[in-house]
């Protein structure tokens, strides 16, 4: 890519997702999620809903790509089959095309949200898209997540010609455009969560309030408002210079669940059998070990029968060797995509005297 002179080093690896291994992916299919407003549209039906396992296996052997992109496992322990690259566009820059592969849904959601900003603000500057996933998913340094085509790192809209992964502040953040982007992610896509630094959340929340967004809806969106058990916008260390987005993929996830064992049988999903031994030291965490050895927290937990993130100093742990894809076993029931968390419809006031 040809970057403008004012570009501030949009390094896609300048992520510091140290806290992402602490995000519990288990709630993705939880039936106990808080109630939400009705969805704007029903999720598209799975293209394999009416197929038997034998029919799925036959199609996988002939042409895995016939199903479209498949998101296998979880974001922290997964793989991507038949992924699609984030295309070039005149409204965004793909910083590292070799690591910007996703599902069809992820790419479409991202494009749709950016286009919504330009509908409201014609001529808005380009956003800079960092890592999504590797072509086949799996571990992508330096991240814990970004393994199954559903995670995206993207810049903020900035003022004064700034561009790239630049630390956003009250002075340089383009709040109207950034809020328009975040709002589009929430209302136009099946977004699972958005990671934004606390300081920037406060700026966006204040701006949204000033332009008349519903207070109750904002309470359900921003973690900084301390009103909702599972806000969509949350804080994680290292997200003051970019936004981390995770999408639900109604089609790609469900195909990955149904076809998991068949994909493994066909060799598209590999399970590790090789390990190195590590004697834990004081200060070691599962996250630091995962980054050091190029694996995932879930993989280390599975290899050692751990149910929590706690490890003990001086204990020896088995670490799956780098280069193998560890995929979390599929959930037994279909993937449940929560209804979109939409703002209430404003009712026009009746004219006085009517």
Stretch 6-11: mean pLDDT: 44
Stretch 134-142: mean pLDDT: 89
* Domains along the sequence of the chain with CATH: 20-30+47-256 (3.30.1380.10), 271-332 (3.10.350.10)
pLDDT of residue 31: 31
Residue 172 pLDDT > 70 = yes
Stretch 101-108: mean pLDDT: 98
* Tens digits of residue pLDDT in 196-217: 999 999 999 999 999 999 999 9
pTM of the model: 0.77
Query: What percentage of the chain reaches a pLDDT higher than 90?
Result: 53
pLDDT of residue 302: 82
Stretch 32-46: mean pLDDT: 46
Cβ–Cβ < 8 Å for 170, 160: no
Stretch 12-38: mean pLDDT: 37
Cβ-Cβ contacts under 8 Å for 69 (sequence gap 6 or more): 80, 81, 82, 83, 84, 102, 103, 104, 105, 149, 252
* Tens digits of residue pLDDT in 275-310: 678 899 999 999 999 888 878 888 888 878 898 999
pLDDT of residue 351: 59
pLDDT of residue 266: 74
Q: In the numeric block, which tokens belong to residue 45?
A: 């039906």
**Alpha carbon distance 29, 52 (integer Å):** 23
Of 3-12, 66-75, 95-104, 136-145, where does the model show the most confidence? 95-104
**Alpha carbon distance 301, 312 (integer Å):** 13
Residue 15 pLDDT > 60 = no
Rounded (10°) angle between helices 250-258 and 104-120: 170
* Tens digits of residue pLDDT in 305-337: 898 999 999 998 988 765 445 566 666 678 889
pLDDT of residue 18: 39
Cβ–Cβ < 8 Å for 230, 24: no
Residue 128 pLDDT > 70 = yes
Residue 41 pLDDT > 70 = no
């Amino acid at each position: 890519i040809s970057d403008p002179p004012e570009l501030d080093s949009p390094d896609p690896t300048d992520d510091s997702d140290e806290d992402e291994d602490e995000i519990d992916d288990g709630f993705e299919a939880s039936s106990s999620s808080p109630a939400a407003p009705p969805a704007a549209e029903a999720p598209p039906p799975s293209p394999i809903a009416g197929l038997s396992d034998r029919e799925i296996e036959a199609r996988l052997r002939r042409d895995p790509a016939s199903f479209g992109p498949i998101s296998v496992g979880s974001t922290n322990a997964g793989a991507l089959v038949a992924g699609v690259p984030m295309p070039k566009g005149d409204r965004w820059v793909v910083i590292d095309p070799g690591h910007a592969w996703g599902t069809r849904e992820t790419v479409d959601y991202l494009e749709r949200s950016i286009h919504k900003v330009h509908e409201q603000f014609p001529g808005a500057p380009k956003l800079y898209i960092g890592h999504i996933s590797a072509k086949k998913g799996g571990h992508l340094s330096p991240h814990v997540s970004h393994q199954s085509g559903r995670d995206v790192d993207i810049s903020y809209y900035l003022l004064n010609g700034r561009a790239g992964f630049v630390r956003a502040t009250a002075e340089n953040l383009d709040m109207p455009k950034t809020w328009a982007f975040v709002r589009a992610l929430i209302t136009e896509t099946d977004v699972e969560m958005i990671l934004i630094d606390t300081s920037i959340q406060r700026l966006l929340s204040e701006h949204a309030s000033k332009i008349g967004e519903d207070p109750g809806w904002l309470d359900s969106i921003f973690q900084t408002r301390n009103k909702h058990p599972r806000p969509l916008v949350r804080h994680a260390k290292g997200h003051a210079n970019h936004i981390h987005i995770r999408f639900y993929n109604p089609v790609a996830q469900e195909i990955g669940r149904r076809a998991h064992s068949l994909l493994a049988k066909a060799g598209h999903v590999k399970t590790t059998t090789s390990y190195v031994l590590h004697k834990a030291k004081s200060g070691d965490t599962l996250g630091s070990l995962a980054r050091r050895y190029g694996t995932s927290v879930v993989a280390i937990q599975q290899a050692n029968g751990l149910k929590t993130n706690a490890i003990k100093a001086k204990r020896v742990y088995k670490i799956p060797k780098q280069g193998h894809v560890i995929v979390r076993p599929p959930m037994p029931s279909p993937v449940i995509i929560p209804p979109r968390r939409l703002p209430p419809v404003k009712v026009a006031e009746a004219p006085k005297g009517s």
